[in-house]
Amino acid sequence: MTTRPLTMPRLTPARLAMSRLLPLVAAALVAALLPGPAPAQPRGKAEPIIILNNKGGNVLEAVQYRNRLAASGRPVQVRGYCRSACTIYTTLPNACLGPNATIGFHAPRIPGTTIIPPLVDEIMGRFYRGGILRKWNSEWKHSLKMHKISARDYVRLDPQTKLCPR
């Protein structure tokens, strides 16, 4: 019986990126599953936090910011365009969508690549409900193309979401 020497699999740039990303994604998934801080009780009428023309970015940072928004106790208004990681702010209990807002969804990816990292889509999906969650799971999380919908269409797919006053 002959034995072959063990060889390491070839480390491509994609595999290298994934090997570095997996521990971060695992930690983020654990953090995303933990409940955020309890909302603060504002005194009097608090000024709204306005999220305007947000193109998204790092999902892990967006989850942390979402937790801070929830804990602020202040109203959150999502206005203009809200793309990618920004979309997780739309389901905050203290959030509303501007009536003319446009919400955009696409598969999360490692910046500068077409690599869709594991688990990040699941982290984002935890923040969606109803028809938005169904569309996310069946279409949007698999596509690198941006899928844009109006605030009114968003509310039709997720009736728990509120439209802001003009």
pLDDT digit string, tens, across residues 121-155: 999 999 999 999 999 999 999 999 999 999 999 99
User: What distances in angstroms separate CA 26 from CA 20, 21, 83, 134, one per listed residue?
Assistant: 11, 9, 24, 24
96 closest CA partner among 9, 12, 161: 161
Higher per-residue confidence, 129 vs 110 = 129
Task: Write the pLDDT tens digit of every residue in 146-162.
Answer: 999 999 999 999 999 99
29: its two tokens: 């998934």
pTM of the shown model: 0.76
Does residue 163 carry a pLDDT above 50? yes
Task: Write the pLDDT tens digit of every residue in 14-60.
Answer: 555 555 555 554 455 545 545 554 444 445 578 999 999 999 999 99
Question: pLDDT > 90: what percent of the chain?
Answer: 70
161 closest CA partner among 120, 101, 107, 121: 101
Q: How far from chain centre, in Å, is Cα 11? A: 29
Domains and CATH numbers, the chain: 46-157 (3.90.226.10)
